[in-house]
C-alpha cells in the first residue's frame, strides 16, 4: 500500500462526539500490530486543542484509537511538541493515557489537507475530557464523585513524580475519562523530566504563580498547584478559584487566597450562591495546602494523600458506572 493511502479520507458523520462504551474494545495491541494495520479510517474529530485529534478505526483489527496529528511546518521540520511527547511513550499506569504507536514523516490526506505529519496513536478515552464533563453534568457532580476522580488524578501524578516527570499542563481538558470510567492524564507535549529545569508556560488559570513568573524550580510542586485548581473547579461545578492577573466578578480572589483566606472562602460562597457548608473544613485545608504561594511550603503528593478530605468516602467503580448511566450527558 502506498504511504499516502494509509489514512482514508472519510466524511465525518453528525453523530455525538462520544461513542457508546460498549463498542470500544480494550486496547492490548503492540506497536508491531499497529504497524501491520494498513487501513486506518478517520471516523470523527475528538478534540479542539492546539493539535487535531481524531478517532481512527483499524479495519483489520476492528479497534478504535485516538490519533493526534502534528502537521509539519513549511520547512518540513518535525514538531517539537511531538518530539517531546513521545519521550514519555513508555509510561504505563492505569491513570495515564497509553501511547500505542508514534510515527514521523507520514503523508496524510485529510479533507482539504495533503501533506506530512507526525502521528501519535493512543488508547481511546470514550467519555471525552473533564472540561466537557463539568460543562454538561455540573449540577450532578457530588463531593464523593469529585473525590473519586481526584484520587485517580493524584495516583497518576504520584507515578509521574516518582519517575521524576512533571506534566506541567494539568487542566480539565487534559484529563480524559477512559474505559470503565477511569481518569486518564493525557497530552504530555509540555511535560519534562524534573532535572531538566526546562519548564513551559502551562495554561492560564491553572498554572502555578512561579510558572507565570518564569521562576519555577520544582515542576512537581507546579503540578500540585494545578491539580488543586482542578479539584476546586470540580467541586464548584465549573467555577475557577481565581482569575490570573485579573478580577473575577469584581473580586481579586488570588489576593484574598494568599492574604485574607477566610474572606476568600466567604466571597466564593457568595458569588456561587452556596452556603458555607459546601466547602468543608477538611476541603479548605487541603486546597489551601495545594495552592500555597511558596512552592517549598506547598503540599506534596504524600501530603495530599495524608489529608483528611482525601481519605473520606469515595464511590465504588460500580457506583461510578451507575452515575454515568443515570446522568452523563442527559
Give the active site residues.
169
- The runs of H, that is alpha helices, within the chain are 31-35, 80-86, 130-137, 143-162, 209-212, 219-235, 253-259, 261-272, 281-290, 301-306, 317-327
Dihedral class, residue 197 (left if φ above 0, else alpha if ψ from -120 to 50, else beta): left
Whole-number Å distance between alpha carbons of 242 and 240: 6
SS3 135: helix
Cell numbers describing residue 131: 472540561
SS3 175: strand
Q: Find all residues with CB under 8 Å of 173, minimum gap 6, and list them.
A: 49, 129, 130, 131, 187, 203
Whole-number Å distance between alpha carbons of 130 and 152: 13
Whole-number Å distance between alpha carbons of 24 and 107: 27
Whole-number Å distance between alpha carbons of 116 and 20: 32
Whole-number Å distance between alpha carbons of 111 and 137: 33
Amino acid at each position: 500500500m502506498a504511504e499516502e493511502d494509509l489514512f482514508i479520507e472519510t466524511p465525518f458523520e453528525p453523530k455525538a462526539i462520544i461513542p457508546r462504551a460498549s463498542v470500544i474494545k480494550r486496547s492490548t495491541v503492540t506497536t508491531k500490530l499497529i504497524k501491520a494495520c494498513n487501513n486506518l479510517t478517520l471516523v470523527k474529530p475528538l478534540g479542539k486543542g492546539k493539535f487535531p485529534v481524531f478517532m481512527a478505526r483499524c479495519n483489520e483489527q476492528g479497534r478504535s484509537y485516538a490519533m493526534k496529528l502534528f502537521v509539519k511546518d513549511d520547512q518540513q521540520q518535525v514538531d517539537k511538541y511531538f518530539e517531546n511527547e513521545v519521550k514519555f511513550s513508555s509510561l504505563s499506569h492505569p491513570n495515564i493515557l497509553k501511547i500505542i504507536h508514534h510515527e514521523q514523516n507520514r503523508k496524510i490526506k485529510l479533507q482539504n489537507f495533503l501533506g506530512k505529519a507526525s502521528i501519535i496513536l493512543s488508547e481511546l478515552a470514550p467519555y471525552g475530557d473533564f472540561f466537557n464533563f463539568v460543562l454538561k453534568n455540573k449540577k450532578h457532580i457530588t463531593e464523593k464523585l469529585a473525590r473519586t476522580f481526584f484520587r485517580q488524578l493524584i495516583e497518576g501524578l504520584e507515578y509521574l513524580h516518582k519517575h521524576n516527570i512533571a506534566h506541567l499542563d494539568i487542566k480539565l481538558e487534559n484529563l480524559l475519562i477512559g474505559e470503565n470510567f477511569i481518569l486518564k492524564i493525557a497530552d504530555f507535549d509540555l511535560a519534562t523530566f524534573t532535572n531538566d529545569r526546562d519548564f513551559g508556560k502551562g495554561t492560564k488559570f491553572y498554572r502555578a504563580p512561579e510558572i507565570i513568573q518564569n521562576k519555577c524550580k520544582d515542576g512537581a510542586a507546579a503540578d500540585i498547584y494545578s491539580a488543586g485548581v482542578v479539584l476546586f473547579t470540580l467541586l464548584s461545578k465549573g467555577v475557577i478559584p481565581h482569575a490570573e492577573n485579573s478580577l473575577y466578578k469584581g473580586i481579586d480572589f488570588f489576593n484574598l487566597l494568599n492574604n485574607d483566606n477566610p474572606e476568600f472562602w466567604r466571597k466564593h460562597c457568595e458569588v456561587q450562591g452556596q452556603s458555607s457548608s459546601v466547602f468543608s473544613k477538611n476541603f479548605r485545608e487541603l486546597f489551601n495546602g495545594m495552592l500555597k504561594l511558596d512552592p517549598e511550603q506547598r503540599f506534596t503528593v504524600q501530603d495530599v494523600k495524608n489529608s483528611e478530605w482525601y481519605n473520606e468516602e469515595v464511590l465504588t467503580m460500580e457506583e461510578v458506572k451507575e452515575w454515568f448511566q443515570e446522568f452523563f450527558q442527559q
